[in-house]
């Protein structure tokens, strides 16, 4: 058993892998279903594909697995920055690869990157066990307030610039915003790490 595998087990990476496999299985079986969601920004209900909501589960899993597993990692004579960079690379990479098996891989990857970035920022500010809160709040805000009636001749529905989880797959600005959120989260996590918490193992 290698040191790298022990390190991954200490961060419960196998559990994250199992979670991602479960999410991928759900996406493969019922990912094409649409979920009716009420919207305060539109006069109609939204029919949101389930594949646009599943990245929230991936983001929450990444955030929860970003915490330092034991106090040994805080006192061991090793540089924290490279370890955090390796950890966040494994976590984000696992979630991103999982999103690529969804029915709408571009949309799923975009939403996964953006929500994972929000989760990492929350882990740095409030702790890893609370990292799921900001992605959830953002997604709910997008569903409730992120749409508006389009001003085009055809009418229809449009999204506000900040509601990247609802944007079309070919919306480059939404993808850029999601990548920016992920980059901010990764940089903050590597620089500061998750906020220390007292969590019973």
Q: What is the pLDDT of residue 77?
A: 53
* Torsion angle defined by CA atoms of residues 194, 181, 35 and 149, in that order, rounded to the nearest 10 degrees: 140
In a domain, 70, yes or no: yes
Q: What is the pLDDT of residue 166?
A: 86
In a domain, 201, yes or no: no
In a domain, 39, yes or no: yes
| pTM of the shown model | 0.85
Distance CA 176, CA 186 (A): 15
Q: What is the pLDDT of residue 179?
A: 97
Q: What is the pLDDT of residue 3?
A: 66
Q: Which positions of the chain have pLDDT values less than 50?
A: 43, 75, 151-153, 201
User: Looking at the 3D structure of the chain, how many domains does it have?
Assistant: 1
Residue holding tokens 């900040």?
A: 162
Q: What is the pLDDT of residue 5?
A: 75
In a domain, 6, yes or no: no
Query: What is residue 91's three-state secondary structure?
Result: helix
Q: What is the pLDDT of residue 8?
A: 77
Cα angle 172, 125, 10 (rounded to 5 degrees) comes to 95
Token digits for 117? 């970035």
Domain that holds residue 76: 13-192
Query: What is residue 140's three-state secondary structure?
Result: helix
Who's near 154: CB < 8 A, 6+ residues apart? none
Q: What is the pLDDT of residue 70?
A: 61
Q: What is the pLDDT of residue 71?
A: 56
């Amino acid at each position: 058993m290698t040191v790298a595998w022990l390190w991954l087990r200490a961060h419960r990476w196998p559990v994250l892998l199992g979670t991602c496999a479960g999410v991928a299985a759900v996406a493969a079986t019922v990912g094409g279903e649409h979920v009716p969601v009420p919207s305060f920004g539109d006069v109609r209900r939204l029919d949101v594909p389930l594949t646009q909501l599943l990245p929230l589960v991936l983001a929450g899993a990444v955030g929860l697995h970003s915490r330092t597993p034991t106090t040994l990692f805080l006192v061991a004579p090793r540089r924290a920055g490279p370890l955090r960079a390796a950890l966040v690379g494994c976590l984000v990479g696992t979630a991103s690869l999982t999103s690529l098996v969804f029915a709408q891989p571009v949309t799923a990857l975009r939403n996964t990157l953006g929500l994972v970035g929000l989760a990492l920022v929350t882990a740095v500010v409030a702790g890893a066990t609370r990292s799921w809160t900001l992605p959830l709040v953002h997604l709910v805000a997008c569903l409730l307030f992120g749409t508006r009636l389009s001003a085009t001749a055809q009418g229809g529905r449009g999204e506000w610039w900040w509601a990247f989880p609802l944007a079309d797959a070919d919306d480059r600005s939404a993808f850029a915003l999601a990548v920016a959120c992920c980059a901010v989260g990764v940089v903050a996590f590597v620089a500061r790490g998750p906020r220390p918490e007292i969590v019973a193992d």
